[in-house]
Amino acid sequence: MHFDSWGTQVTPAGPSPKPGGPAGPMAPAKEALIQDATLRPSLITTCLQTHFSGYTFLVTKQHTPPAGTTSEYKIDVGE
């Protein structure tokens, strides 16, 4: 499942553009694993508890594009 930082489920972003090209080198996107559920944004946790209470949430992966502050969170789940 993919969420934005406001807890809204979103369509996953496509692959990041490759570095280089006519505009010059591009910084890579940042990836971070969040294994402690208490460190996940509280709005996402609330959405998960409300709509997916029967699942176990294994890990959250935070993706931040190279330009901007908007993050996308991917939640891996198990039953």
- pLDDT for position 21: 53
Instruction: Provide Rg for the chain, Cα atoms.
Output: 14
pLDDT band (50, 70, 90) for residue 69: low
What is the rounded average pLDDT of the residues 17-43? 71
pLDDT band (50, 70, 90) for residue 50: confident
Q: Cα 56 to the chain's mean position, in Å?
A: 17
Rounded to whole angstroms, the Cα distance separating 26 from 38 reads 32
pLDDT > 80? residue 23 = no
What is the rounded average pLDDT of the residues 4-33? 67
